[in-house]
Each structure stands twice: as structure tokens, then as C-alpha cells.
């Protein structure tokens, strides 16, 4: 471990643990939203540090689009076994079957947008008053302005103009019935911070983060895993490449990058040298300059 | 590598967002796709170069109005430090946002337009810096390219600002002539101002020493959560979880639990399963005590050698942050660390005209008003004076009708 890296990682870690303990202290029914991605995996480690040897004061919640990478689900189930904590899964398929959302059609169809409805239903059904998520302010411009305690109205909406001031490290979690708070303990971390932390803590990750051989197709200039949900046609040419994923979302909207980074040290070097920021590999942000802000107002994380 | 949090104060026209954009751009902290989005955007400078301010103007309304209306956080790192920038709006109607940004920073950058010199808003921004007790101030005299990089202009502004600084007791002020637009003295030392022999802004930010809280003799840990596994093998485990807000704790230190006043000694300091002999400000820990005492969230553990003030009647500076004015006939909630209790505004002593620093009579507080009040709390608070200890000397006011954060309090004295 690089001694120079410890100080600022320790500071970020201490801040995140403080935030998690504030959630435990201020809310009746919090939940930790677990996506299987490296950021929520980091949150789980931080929760262990905040509450062990006690139990977590919240369950883990996973919104399953049904289009996950199988590696993510394997990882999730193994992790839950190790932790001995409760997992609640909300299925987008259920929302589709109930007619609450309509599956998109066409080539670029994705369930990514649909999961907001499933998430809001899961929050309502379990009466969660706080949902902890792994979003970071360095990911995107709209996120750069979001609070650590971000209040959502009963429709799950974020109102950037009505954000509460956050002073010192005092977090105001008071809400009205029906509202809930999204809490982002690693707001102040960058992608590189997360990776350095994962290396320092020797945290295991789903295998798709590391370089592996996979059949991919090229769409809109990005490499997508060749999966049955992708509505492929004869124009899509499948090629087998060494790739890895920088974020882990739904298979329909998470692009791969060509990579020979088989080990975490390789990944960190690759990111340091990288010229494409992390969300650049997410097709869902590309729609318009205000894409993320609009989705957040609608209840997305 | 450590962490420096700083905030920038300046008005819409001072080139504040451009300065931050320049720091990110010249330190190569902008990634390719962000740069591409930047280049595709329609906003350009008059000479056709990229408008770097777009990098920090996050929200739609801001893009439409071309102004910064909220606090935007930006991150970058060099080989020496990781930086968190709170980019705050400078217009008077966003005073509360500036107060928020300042509360979370160790250092302030105050921008002065070289063409206009020290103006009303420079005074206002500096007042906020002094109110929030930021120890380190950098005055960036910007747009030096517009005044032919004149040393005389810079010297005059330096002199004028020194008077404000001494009036506001800002003791550590560094002056740097820059052009955010052209890049002079932001990251790279300017060739256009050979008369300036100091450091570039980034060089200064990378090397300045900032860790006052750790040296404080006042050891404080607000209790956030009590860890009690209640399993067979950990039947007697009882850990007090919190973050040390100032000073240090050592095993065997005599501590006092406040507000009850009960005393004990630290038997064990735990960080995530590892035992420590001592723990410093900023770290999240679990403390164990020798005696079985009744402690819950909202209590604070302090070193018995330096106990804080315990009082229900407190004189404080108040910055009002809500559109609904202060109502001294209702009860508010005060949140001080992990403790919440009801309170009333007992007295409004005065307000400050933050452009002229004059004290004026106070009959109410409206959005962005700053002044001095006396509050009466339902439960006693164990606090320190804000100028000695920010974390334990600051608190927020919550309106229990709306649940909004309506005020920032900086404790100045106990009235009892």
C-alpha cells in the first residue's frame, strides 16, 4: 500500500462512515440500494466498518432489471451469504407484468428507465424513509450539485431549487410522511478514489470489471455485450474481444471498453491514463446535455 | 497525500467559474468526453476559445441564465493533494449558498476584478469568510490581462484589501495576480508579470498547511450510534460510535459525557476491528468506556481536562437561509452535531449590513440576513465557541413546519 494514499482515503472513509451512522441514527426504515456495481460494493464495506460487530441497521435492496450480467447476480448472492444481512429484490419484470410500465421496443430498447418505477414501488411497499446509494458528484454535472442528504417528494422527485443547505457535517434528515431521503455517503469520492480504496481494502469485485474475452457488437461507437436482450439484427457484427466494464448496470446500456487490465493495479493505471470519463460509457446519459438532471427529477438515482 | 477543501467567492462577472475551469483544464483534470461535450456546447468566448465556465455551471436554470445559483462541488488531484472545490454563487441573493460552501472549507479564494478593484461585494464575501472563521484566504486579482498586467493596479488592490482584512481580523491573506481566461498564474507561473515573484495559485494550494482541528486541545466525539450486538459471544459489547470532531483521544483518557456530566475513562479505541492507542480529529471510531454508563445518540464525549460550555441560553451569529422570515413566536429545532432539541429565538440583538459592515437594529431576519441573536434551547447544549472549534461551535436551525434548514448558527457566548 502506498503510504501517501492513506491520508485522504482515510478522510473520505471517515466521512462516509459518519454519514452512514447519521442515517442509522436519524431514520426509522433506511435501506441500502445495492446494484452490484463497485460503488455499492464499496458502500457495503463502509457499512461493515460503521456497524460491526453489530448488524446493519438496514436491509440491502436490489432493483433487478432482469437484464443483469449473470456475474453480478452470482456475486450478490455470495456476498449476502457472507454478510448474513437481509436482501430485498424488486423485479422490473413484475412492474411490466403488472402493466405499470411498458417494455421499450426497437434496437436501443433498455429497461434502464423502467427501473425507476420498480424502485419507487419497492420504496413505497417497504415504507423506506432513507435509501443509501453509491452516486458520486464527480460522475456528472447535475450530481455535482446534489446534497449528501437529498430529499425526494412523494413522487420520488428531486427538486434542485429546493435543496437544503448542508453546513459543516450536520445533516438534516427531517421529512414529512411519504417523502424519503436519498443519501450519498461517497459523494466526495472520485472514480479513482473508489478504485484505490478497493485495492487498499482488498475488496472482491464481480469478474466483469476485469479484462476478459467476450462477444461484443459495436453500437453508436460503443462496445456492447452481445446479449439476447439487445434486439440484435443482421447489421450487428459480433466480434470476440478482450474487454472489461467500467460500470455495472443493465446489459442493454452498459458499454465495455477494450482492455488488457486483468488485475486491479492494471485498472488503476488504465484509469489514470484514460481519456473517457466513466459515465461516457453509459449510453443513457448521451441523450441530451440535461439527461441526468431530467432523470433525477423523475426519481432516478 | 491529503485533502484540501476550498471555496471560491466572486460575482457573476469576476470570472469565478472560469478560474475553476482553468484549474481543472490546466491541471488536466478534464476527461475527453467532458471536453467533447464542452466543445459541442454553443457557449464560446469572444475569441472563439472554449468557455471554461461551463464546466461548473451544472443546472439547467443556470445554463439558461448564465449564472451559478447553487453550490457545485468539483474534484481534482495533483501528485501532492486531492482538492474539493465548493463553487458558490457571489450575488447577494445567494449569500446562504456562500455560507454553506464556506462552512465546508479550509480555505477561501476571493476574486477581485482588476478593473474594478475592491468593491462592495468584496467586503461582503470577506465578511462571510470571517464569520465562518476560515483561517486561510487567497485574494485572486483576476483579469490582469485587461489592465495590461499592471503592477501598480495590483499593488493598489493589495493595499485596499489589507484594510478590510485587518478590520475583519483575517490574518493570513495571500495575494495573487491572475488571468483565469488566459491562464496567467493559475497553474503555470505567468510570463506576463515578471514583477510577481510569488507562487501560482495551484502551487500555493498544493503547499499550504491546513489541519488546525487536530491540534485543538478540545477532544470531542458526538455519539451517533451505540453498537450493541447482543449476541451470546458479544453479550457485554457496548461501543459508542462517532467521529472525532476535534483534538485527540487516547486509551485511559479521562472523559466526561455531556450533557449529563458523568465521568469515566476510555478503555478501548476501535477502528473497524483494529485496536488503537489514540485517535485524532476527523476519524470515525468506536470508543469503549471503563464504566457502564447510560449514553445515547445526541450525547457528546469530551476530554475532562477541557470540557465545553453547557448552557441553554446561547448568544450566536445567525445567517437566515429560508424564504419565510424568522418568526420569534414559534419553536424551531436546533441540530448541533447528532443532537436535536427545540429552541426559541429569545432576542434579536442586531443585524449586519454585510456590504458596509454596519450594525443595524433587528426586528426580523429575512433570507440572507446575518446578525446576532440569543437562543433558548429546551435541552442544554454542550458546545464550544465557534472561533475555537467550528464543528462543536456551529449548528443549524430547522423549521419543524417545513422541515427545511432555515438558519446557520455560530455560537459566540453563553448568556448564563
Q: Do A170 and B400 touch (CB under 8 A)?
A: no
Q: Are strands B339-353 and B332-336 parallel, antiparallel or unpaired?
A: antiparallel
Provide, as residue numbers in chain A, all residues whose Cβ is less than 8 Å from the Cβ of B82: 8, 193
Q: Looking at residue B288, what is its pLDDT?
A: 97
Can you say whether residue B138 is alpha, beta or left, with left for phi > 0 and alpha for psi between -120 and 50 degrees?
beta
Beta bridge partners of B15: none
Dump pLDDT digits (tens) for B17-53: 788 888 887 776 655 556 666 666 656 666 666 666 6
Which is it for strands B405-414 and B309-320: parallel, antiparallel or unpaired? antiparallel
Cβ of A49 and B333 within 8 Å? no
Q: Which of A136, A137, A165, A255 is the best substitution to test chain B (most B C-beta atoms within 10 A)?
A: A165
Q: How many CB pairs under 8 A join A and B?
A: 168
Q: Are B178 and B184 in contact (CB under 8 A)?
A: yes
Which residue of chain A is at minimal alpha-carbon distance from B105? Answer: A168
Alpha carbon distance A189, A47 (integer Å): 16
| Cβ neighbours of A179 (radius 10 Å) | 15
- How many CA atoms does the CB half-sphere of B317 hold within 13 Å? 22
Q: Give B39's contacts in chain A (Cβ within 8 Å).
A: none
Q: How close does chain A come to B200, measured CA to CA in Å?
A: 23
pLDDT per residue as tens digits for the range B290-326: 998 999 999 999 999 999 999 999 999 999 999 999 9
Q: Cβ–Cβ of B282/A142 closer than 8 Å?
A: no
pLDDT of residue B9: 81
| Count of Cβ atoms closer than 10 Å to residue A72 Cβ | 22
Q: Which residue of B has its CA nearest to A12?
A: B3
Walk along chain B (416 residues) and give the pLDDT tens digit of each residue: 788 999 988 766 777 778 888 888 777 665 555 666 666 665 666 666 666 666 655 555 555 555 556 777 888 888 888 899 888 777 777 788 888 889 999 999 999 999 999 988 899 889 999 999 998 999 999 999 999 999 999 999 999 999 999 999 998 999 999 998 898 999 889 999 999 999 999 999 999 988 766 678 999 999 999 999 988 888 889 999 999 999 999 999 999 999 999 999 999 999 988 999 999 999 999 999 999 899 999 999 999 999 999 999 999 999 999 999 999 999 999 999 999 999 999 999 999 998 888 999 999 999 989 999 999 999 999 999 999 999 999 999 999 999 999 999 999 999 97
Q: CA–CA distance from B5 to each of A183, A193, A197, B74 (Å)?
A: 21, 16, 20, 10
Alpha-carbon radius of gyration of chain A: 19
Give Cα B354 to chain centroid, integer Å.
18
**Of the candidates B59, B225, B336, which has its C-beta nearest A24's C-beta?**
B225
Task: Tell me the pLDDT tens digit for each residue of A41-58.
Answer: 999 999 999 999 999 999
Interface test with A, best of B41, B59, B79, B298 (most A CBs within 10 A): B59
**For every one of its 301 residues, what pLDDT tens digit does chain A have, with 9 covering 90 and above?**
344 445 889 999 999 999 999 999 999 999 999 988 999 999 999 999 999 999 999 999 999 888 888 899 999 999 999 999 999 999 988 888 888 888 877 766 777 777 888 888 999 999 999 999 999 988 776 777 788 999 988 787 887 777 888 999 999 999 998 889 999 999 999 888 999 999 999 999 999 999 999 998 888 788 888 877 777 777 788 889 999 988 877 777 788 888 888 999 998 888 777 655 555 555 554 444 455 555 555 555 5
What does the pLDDT look like over A223-251, one tens digit per residue?
888 877 777 777 788 889 999 988 877 77
Q: What is the rounded CA–CA span in Å between residue B44 and residue B52? A: 9
Instruction: Please answer yes or no on whether B336 and A161 come within 8 Å at the CB atom.
Output: no
User: Which residues of chain A neighbour B1 with C-beta distances below 8 Å?
Assistant: 4-5, 7-8
Mutate to test the interface with B, among A1, A170, A191 (most CBs of B within 10 A): A170
Q: Are A68 and A250 in contact (CB under 8 A)?
A: yes
Please list, in sequence order, all residues whose beta carbon lies within 8 angstroms of the beta carbon of residue A125, skipping any fewer than 6 positions away.
Answer: none
Instruction: Quote the pLDDT of residue B390.
Output: 92
pTM for the whole structure:
0.90
The HSE-up count of residue A73 (CA atoms within 13 Å, CB side) is 12
Amino acid at each position: 500500500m502506498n503510504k501517501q494514499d492513506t491520508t485522504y482515503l482515510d478522510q473520505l472513509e471517515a466521512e462516509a462512515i459518519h454519514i452512514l451512522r447519521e442515517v442509522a441514527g436519524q431514520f426509522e426504515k433506511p435501506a441500502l440500494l445495492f446494484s452490484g456495481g463497485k460503488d455499492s460494493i464499496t458502500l457495503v464495506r463502509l457499512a461493515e466498518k460503521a456497524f460491526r460487530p453489530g448488524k446493519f441497521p438496514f436491509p440491502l435492496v436490489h432493483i433487478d432489471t432482469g437484464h443483469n450480467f449473470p456475474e453480478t447476480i452470482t456475486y450478490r448472492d455470495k456476498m449476502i451469504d457472507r454478510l448474513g444481512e437481509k436482501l430485498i429484490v424488486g423485479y422490473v419484470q413484475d412492474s411490466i407484468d403488472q402493466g405499470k410500465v411498458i417494455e421499450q421496443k426497437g434496437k436501443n430498447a433498455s429497461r434502464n428507465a423502467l427501473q425507476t418505477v420498480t424502485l419507487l414501488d419497492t420504496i413505497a411497499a417497504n415504507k423506506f424513509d432513507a435509501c443509501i446509494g453509491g452516486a458520486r458528484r464527480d460522475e456528472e454535472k447535475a450530481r455535482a450539485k446534489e446534497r449528501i442528504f437529498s430529499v425526494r417528494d412523494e413522487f420520488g422527485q428531486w427538486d434542485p431549487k429546493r435543496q437544503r443547505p448542508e453546513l459543516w457535517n450536520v445533516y438534516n434528515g427531517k421529512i414529512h410522511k411519504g417523502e424519503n431521503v436519498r443519501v450519498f455517503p461517497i459523494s466526495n469520492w472520485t472514480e479513482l478514489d473508489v478504485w484505490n480504496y478497493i485495492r487498499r481494502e482488498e475488496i472482491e469485485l464481480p469478474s466483469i470489471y476485469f479484462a476478459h474475452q467476450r462477444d461484443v457488437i459495436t453500437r453508436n461507437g460503443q462496445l456492447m455485450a452481445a446479449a439476447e436482450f439487445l434486439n440484435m439484427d443482421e447489421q450487428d457484427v459480433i466480434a470476440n474481444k478482450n474487454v472489461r466494464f467500467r460500470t455495472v448496470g443493465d446489459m442493454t446500456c452498459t458499454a465495455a471498453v477494450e482492455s488488457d487490465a486483468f488485475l486491479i493495479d492494471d485498472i488503476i493505471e488504465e484509469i489514470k491514463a484514460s481519456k473517457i470519463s466513466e459515465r461516457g460509457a453509459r449510453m443513457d446519459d448521451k441523450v441530451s446535455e440535461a439527461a441526468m438532471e431530467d432523470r433525477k427529477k423523475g426519481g432516478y438515482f | 497525500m491529503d485533502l484540501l477543501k476550498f471555496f471560491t467567492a466572486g460575482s457573476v462577472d469576476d470570472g469565478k467559474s472560469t478560474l475553476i475551469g482553468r484549474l481543472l483544464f490546466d491541471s488536466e483534470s478534464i476527461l475527453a468526453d467532458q471536453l467533447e461535450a464542452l466543445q459541442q456546447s454553443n457557449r464560446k468566448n469572444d475569441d472563439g476559445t472554449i468557455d471554461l465556465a461551463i464546466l461548473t455551471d451544472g443546472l439547467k436554470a443556470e445554463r439558461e441564465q448564465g449564472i451559478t445559483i447553487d453550490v457545485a462541488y468539483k474534484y481534482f488531484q495533483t501528485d501532492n493533494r486531492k482538492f474539493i472545490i465548493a463553487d458558490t454563487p457571489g450575488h447577494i441573493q445567494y449569500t446562504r449558498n456562500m455560507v454553506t460552501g464556506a462552512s465546508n472549507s479550509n480555505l477561501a479564494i476571493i476574486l477581485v476584478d482588476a478593473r474594478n478593484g475592491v468593491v462592495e461585494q468584496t467586503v461582503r464575501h470577506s465578511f462571510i469568510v470571517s464569520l465562518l472563521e476560515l483561517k486561510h484566504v487567497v485574494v485572486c486579482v483576476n483579469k490582469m490581462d485587461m489592465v495590461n498586467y499592471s503592477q501598480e493596479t495590483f499593488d493598489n488592490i493589495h493595499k485596499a484589501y489589507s484594510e478590510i482584512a485587518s478590520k475583519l481580523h483575517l490574518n493570513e491573506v495571500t495575494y495573487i495576480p491572475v488571468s483565469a481566461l488566459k491562464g496567467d498564474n493559475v497553474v503555470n507561473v505567468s510570463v506576463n508579470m515578471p514583477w510577481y515573484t510569488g507562487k501560482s495559485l495551484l502551487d500555493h494550494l498544493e503547499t499550504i498547511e491546513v489541519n488546525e482541528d487536530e491540534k485543538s486541545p478540545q477532544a470531542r466525539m458526538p455519539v451517533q450510534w451505540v453498537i450493541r450486538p447482543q449476541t451470546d459471544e458479544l453479550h457485554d459489547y457496548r461501543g459508542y460510535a462517532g467521529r472525532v470532531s476535534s483534538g485527540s483521544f487516547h486509551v485511559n483518557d479521562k472523559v466526561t459525557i455531556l450533557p449529563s456530566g458523568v465521568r469515566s475513562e476510555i478503555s478501548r479505541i476501535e477502528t473497524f476491528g483494529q485496536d488503537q492507542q489514540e485517535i485524532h480529529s476527523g476519524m470515525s471510531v468506536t470508543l469503549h468506556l471503563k464504566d457502564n454508563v447510560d449514553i445515547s445518540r445526541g450525547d457528546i464525549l469530551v476530554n475532562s481536562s477541557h470540557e465545553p460550555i453547557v448552557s441553554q441560553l446561547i448568544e450566536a451569529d445567525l445567517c437566515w437561509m429560508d424564504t419565510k422570515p424568522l418568526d420569534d413566536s414559534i419553536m424551531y429545532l436546533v441540530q448541533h452535531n447528532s443532537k436535536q432539541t427545540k429552541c426559541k429565538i429569545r432576542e434579536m440583538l442586531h443585524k449586519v449590513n454585510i456590504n458596509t459592515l454596519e450594525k443595524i437594529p433587528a426586528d426580523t431576519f429575512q433570507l440572507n440576513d446575518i446578525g446576532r441573536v440569543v437562543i433558548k434551547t429546551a435541552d442544554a447544549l454542550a458546545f464550544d465557541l465557534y472561533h475555537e472549534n467550528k464543528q462543536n461551535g456551529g449548528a443549524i436551525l430547522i423549521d419543524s413546519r417545513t422541515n427545511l434548514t432555515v438558519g446557520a448558527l455560530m455560537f459566540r457566548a453563553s448568556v448564563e
